[in-house]
Structure 1
């Protein structure tokens, strides 16, 4: 798609997707859900998006029994004093299919939108994923990462194990590769890995999680300042679903 696809057209497209879902004969069987959350940082594939500061986010999803879904998610971001970008808004639409109680798959198209005085980072990304007995594997692809004309590919694996009632051990590993990663401006090399290990639970309707996040980015390329920090960190978050 055209990298200069503007926000007015995006709003029209989102409206068509939402209207189509709401007017579908299956809409009566649909479900509307949402979530708000707070975290001590916003890490995207191992890199801070909030200048190593507090993140406040929220999202809403509409899904039908047929498997089609649409949604939106927003968060504050901070890319530095010389960059006026302060809000990220992601809209998406996709399809989910449950093969049986243990196996399901999904495909999703995302549009990442960034708002601010100097923001020009909007781009599309597609993903395909599968879930099997607590294990999730997903592949993500964009050919225009942050409006750069560079491709960015991401292959991730996640596993959640309920080791006690209402307590889960959460494991994640992701492989970052593509032209955007190889760009000498970042100095990450051909690819890099981000990973995390954490625990999560629910108390009085609130989701609580605590995790250690890190990457294998070489020490000479690791960003240790707050802006786009890629050092290992403890990430704590609280969320509420409705």
Structure 2
């Protein structure tokens, strides 16, 4: 099993940082120097749970990630493979994850490149392995939800029934935080569902690919992460929260 980070997005709401950097390399250290970024935090988590390799899907301002590749490898003791997404500025992340379809065959812990979270999330996912589970989503069942969150409805013994932002928050079981464990056995089915998803509409999310899988009868499971501090960084308010949280980990 290896780590996988989706870091191809532009993150235009985080300008001026993202004029020159992909969102995953926006500074989250308190001083804003770039000493710590979401990519740094995620790679540190991967290393902490014993992974020795990771792949990073890059696109927008990918040269900034290539420039840091050797430093990141040395700092976190991970062999990094960078995967180019040639449509990063045109299409959404269903295509971005599909670009890593060969990597999925090794089994991955997938993390979005804009999610600040503690290593306990990866630990929770790894502890949930077994009993035929092939895809396990990290789920926050504590947070109060609103319209923008990626919400999930589950059913006992059946796993995920719906995953979308477009649902009444009151009906949701919890929020998908952007971290997933994907076993090798799920790789082919997931890649096919992702391809069907972006061919239907290139603006769709990879979570829409998860829904496609569910619609096909594939069981996707969840692992509640407990009451932990995390944030998806989409704008400057999120970035301020991310810097507060990053100090804790």
- Bigger share in strand: 1
Give the TM-score taking structure 1 as reference length.
0.27
Give the TM-score taking structure 2 as reference length.
0.26
- Bigger share in helix: 2
Which is higher, the Rg of structure 1 or of structure 2? 1
Instruction: Tell me which of the two structures has the higher relative contact order, counting C-alpha pairs closer than 8 angstroms and 6 or more residues apart.
Output: 2
